[in-house]
């Protein structure tokens, strides 16, 4: 319960990960047990172990994240998060607009210790590559999004 852990948007929960700080070589092993609080399209893993690696004092630092995954661990259900709102009505309005073009649009409630978020996701993708292609398609339309694992 009090071990060092990590949050990651797409790695399967329970994955053991070695994180190495590239500039110092300092490394440690963590377990992914959370999807993270961030609603921004930020592709860096959110590590609770950042203090141990000296990242908190130094700010953003380059890290190498290594995980050993089987082929089955790479399969799952993925979605593209295209918005996060603190006002539920705004999320529902965004979702309704997306439903005109996309089939699997959902509003997912998420509570952290500060606020409740309503995340708008377009999903049902069978693998991360398929979801990444959808992110690229959204980008071509001028819409930001990022891949999240749903299972």
Task: Work out the pLDDT band at 48, boundaries 50, 70, 90.
Answer: low
Residue 83 confidence (pLDDT): 94
pTM over 0.75: no
Mean pLDDT calculated for residue range 51-77 = 79
Pairing mode of beta strands 27-34, 5-7: parallel
Tokens of 96: 């309704």
Domains of the chain: 5-69 (2.40.40.10), 75-149 (3.30.70.1070)
Distance CA 78, CA 121 (A): 10
Distance CA 109, CA 120 (A): 9
Task: Work out the pLDDT band at 150, boundaries 50, 70, 90.
Answer: confident
């Amino acid at each position: 319960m009090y071990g060092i852990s990590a949050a990651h948007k797409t790695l399967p929960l329970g994955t053991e990960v070695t994180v190495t700080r590239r500039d110092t070589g300092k490394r440690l092993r963590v377990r992914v047990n959370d999807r993270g609080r961030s609603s921004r399209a930020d592709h860096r893993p959110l590590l609770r172990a950042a203090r141990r690696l000296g990242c908190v004092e130094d700010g953003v630092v380059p890290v190498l994240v290594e995980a050993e995954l089987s082929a089955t661990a790479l399969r799952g259900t993925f979605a593209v998060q295209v918005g996060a709102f603190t006002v539920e009505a705004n999320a529902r309005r965004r979702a309704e607009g997306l439903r005109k073009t996309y089939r699997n649009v959902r509003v997912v409630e998420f509570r952290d210790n500060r606020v409740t978020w309503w995340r708008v996701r377009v999903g049902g993708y069978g693998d991360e590559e398929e979801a990444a292609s959808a992110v690229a398609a959204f980008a071509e339309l001028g819409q930001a999004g990022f891949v999240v694992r749903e299972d």
